[in-house]
Structure 1
Amino acid sequence: MFSLDQLTAFVAVAEELHFGRAAERLNMTQPPLSRQVQKLERAVGVQLFERDNRRVVLTEAGRAFLGEARRLLSLVETAGDLARRVDQGAAGTLRLGFTAVSAIRTLGPFLRRVSDELPEVDVILHERVTSAQIDGLLHGELDLALARPPYDAQLLDSLVVAREPLCAVLPVGHRLAALDRPLSAADFAAEELISYDPDRAGYFHELTVRFLAGSQHRITQRVQQVLTVVLLVAAGRGVALVPESARDLGVPGVAFQEIGLAGEPVELHAIWHRDSANPVLHRVRAMLSEHQ
């Protein structure tokens, strides 16, 4: 087996065709350089140079070996450079969780930023509801999640990456869709309401409960995902509250109406495990902070 030092010595001599100049190029004396080349020839099992007191010439085997030696040295240099880039977070893999609704307005721009600013980072996508994303972070299956609160703030850190209003989604032609004003909680009295599972979609469940507190309404369905809610509304099964970005789902047969709730209470968070050792995650977190 030959060493990298032997390959380096061989390439220097092959390019200079002079042991003295090659030794000077490598900042060493000629005798150890000659020994490195001799060891390489013994390891390879062929003579790589024809040499005498007047000249040094590559053999046919030496010319063939030169290309491979250069390639091996280049691979070693490239491997070291790749390792440094991975250590700095400029290259590597990011396992990203997202929900269907978070993908509408946030995922695309986020992926384009990663592609532009960190082109050597490979993003592996995992579509999951928020609870499954949080579980993935805690079990080391995900590096970053685009999800909703709540989560264990002692183990997970986050950054708000998007805010938007909550609005009503109604079947086309519904009486509330014709009102020329924001809807109040009282407007939902006696309506069949499609709501959210308090355990698996606790964030939107809480937003719905908070807005409709004190009003008379009847919940007929509890589901996990915003898309499912909109599809049930389109099927005429009731009315619901959804994030404003649900408009972009493009589901036919529904209308959206503003509600009387100030501000943009629906938040999307980038969430990560605070003990993560993935250098890419640190670079992506810095990128997200810069775009706030």
Structure 2
Amino acid sequence: MSISLDDIDYFLAVADEGQVRKAALRLGVSQPAITKGLQRLEKTLGFELFERSVRGMTLTRVAEQFRQRTGALRGVLHDAIKEATDLHLGALGLLRVGVSPLYAQKLFVPAFVQLHRQRPAATVRASVHLNDELWRLLRQGELDMTISSLPAVVPDDLEVIELMHDDVCMVVRHGHPLLDNRRLKLGDLASAQWMLPGPGVAARRHVEARLAQAGLPPPRIALEVSNTSAQMGQILRETDLVSIMSESMLAGPSGQGLEVLPLAQARIRRVVGISLLKQARQQPLLTRFVQLLMEMAPQSAPVQALNAL
């Protein structure tokens, strides 16, 4: 069985973009070239890769698994070529780190500064995304590691290392009417309006789950944002919206003028740490960066050590 790497690249691009036209623009090739490449690949494999419709192209069930494996292998091959080039040029390698915007400053920045001092010839490529996107890129082989909140149940293909605890809290402004209620209950939030991240964000799902467990309807969204970033704090201080914020953000300038609702359910436990693919080969540069993150974590937490450390 002979498969062209170009055809694999065409397949992965269409899988990402959902359209041949967009994939062609991304790769800088013609649409017929991609169409023929997909036809060759499907003929060689013996099964269809996409379900085609007027809305675009979606992966078949079999192709979804094929995408995950080929994406990871293509990433490894790309890195092997890059690593060989770096070694030829006298560099020390490439480390691809995905980081949540909440922990770029607190965790990534100090660890990178130390790594750069120790390995000045190394290259680190940082990608800032929310959790779900980070894990997708990690599984596709486009990242070597992620720094973000950890899943409550760790998937079988991931290995995690805890760095710190940073609970998510339901917050309101000082003087908010809800704070006047000395016997505040979760049910009192039924009529509240919220500022929350999109439904794909884990913290939003946790809030929805807390309300559902109390028999309440989903939160009434007044403002939906990509994430509850520091820039949005002013909105909370000037309205009666309820939102969520991490304890680490509340302790800094972003938390000024805000209070955690006096409810046991207003705190959602969250552990922040490193995620890696179990089957991925751990480069010395990755091992050293993980060690620096563990040494410089803001608070001590029990950690699961990597086998390679």
Q: Normalised by the shorter chain, which TM-score bucket?
A: 0.5 to 0.7
Letter in 1 for 2:207: T
Matches within 5 A, 1:212-251: 212=211, 213-214=213-214, 216=216, 219-221=219-221, 222-227=224-229, 230=233, 232-234=235-237, 236=239, 238-247=241-250, 250-251=253-254
Instruction: Please point out which of 278, 281, 286 is paired with 1:281.
Output: 286
**Structure 1 pair 172–253 and aligned structure 2 pair: CA distance change class (3 A):** farther
Q: Does the 8 Å contact 2:198/2:227 carry over to 1?
A: no
Cα-to-partner distance string for 1:75-100 (whole Å, 9 max, x where unaligned): xxxxxxx959x9xxx93221111122
Q: Report the aligned-residue RMSD.
A: 3.9
- Give the secondary structure class of the aligned counterpart of 1:226: coil
Percent identical: 17
TM-score normalised by the chain length of structure 1: 0.55
Residue 175 in structure 1 maps to residue 177 in structure 2: yes
Larger-gyration structure (1/2): 1
Cα offset for 1:268?
1.6
Alpha-carbon separation, structure 1, partners of 2:180 and 2:105: 27
Cα offset for 1:116?
4.8
Cα-to-partner distance string for 1:213-240 (whole Å, 9 max, x where unaligned): 3164662325441217646535637211
Residue 259 of structure 2 aligns with which residue? 256
Residue 165 of structure 1 aligns with which residue? 167
Alpha-carbon separation, structure 2, partners of 1:125 and 1:274: 21
Q: Does the 8 Å contact 1:96/1:126 carry over to 2?
A: yes
Cα-to-partner distance string for 1:75-128 (whole Å, 9 max, x where unaligned): xxxxxxx959x9xxx932211111221224222333234335544433222111
**Structure 1 pair 218–209 and aligned structure 2 pair: CA distance change class (3 A):** closer
Alpha-carbon separation, structure 2, partners of 1:235 and 1:137: 39
Residue 209 of structure 1 aligns with which residue? 208
Letter in 2 for 1:285: V
Matches within 5 A, 1:1-292: 83=87, 91-150=92-151, 153-176=155-178, 184-198=185-199, 200-201=200-201, 203-212=202-211, 213-214=213-214, 216=216, 219-221=219-221, 222-227=224-229, 230=233, 232-234=235-237, 236=239, 238-247=241-250, 250-251=253-254, 254-257=257-260, 259-261=262-264, 265-279=269-283, 280-289=285-294
Alpha-carbon separation, structure 1, partners of 2:263 and 2:122: 43
Alpha-carbon separation, structure 1, partners of 2:268 and 2:164: 9
Cα-to-partner distance string for 1:254-287 (whole Å, 9 max, x where unaligned): 5132544498712222112223335122332344
Cα-to-partner distance string for 1:104-155 (whole Å, 9 max, x where unaligned): 4222333234335544433222111212211211222211111234487232
Alpha-carbon separation, structure 2, partners of 1:130 and 1:266: 13
Q: Does the 8 Å contact 1:195/1:229 carry over to 2?
A: no
Letter in 2 for 1:277: R
The alignment covers a number of residue pairs equal to 205
**Structure 1 pair 264–120 and aligned structure 2 pair: CA distance change class (3 A):** farther
Which runs of no fewer than 5 residues in structure 2 stay unpaired? Answer: 1-85, 302-309
Alpha-carbon separation, structure 2, partners of 1:193 and 1:206: 13
Q: Does the 8 Å contact 1:234/1:251 carry over to 2?
A: no
Alpha-carbon separation, structure 1, partners of 2:210 and 2:292: 34
**Structure 1 pair 110–216 and aligned structure 2 pair: CA distance change class (3 A):** same
- Give the secondary structure class of the aligned counterpart of 2:196: strand
Q: Does the 8 Å contact 1:105/1:245 carry over to 2?
A: no
Cα-to-partner distance string for 1:50-71 (whole Å, 9 max, x where unaligned): xxxxxxxxxxxxxxxxxxxxxx
Alpha-carbon separation, structure 2, partners of 1:218 and 1:154: 31
Letter in 2 for 1:275: Q
Which runs of no fewer than 5 residues in structure 1 stay unpaired? Answer: 1-81
TM-score normalised by the chain length of structure 2: 0.53
**Structure 1 pair 120–177 and aligned structure 2 pair: CA distance change class (3 A):** farther
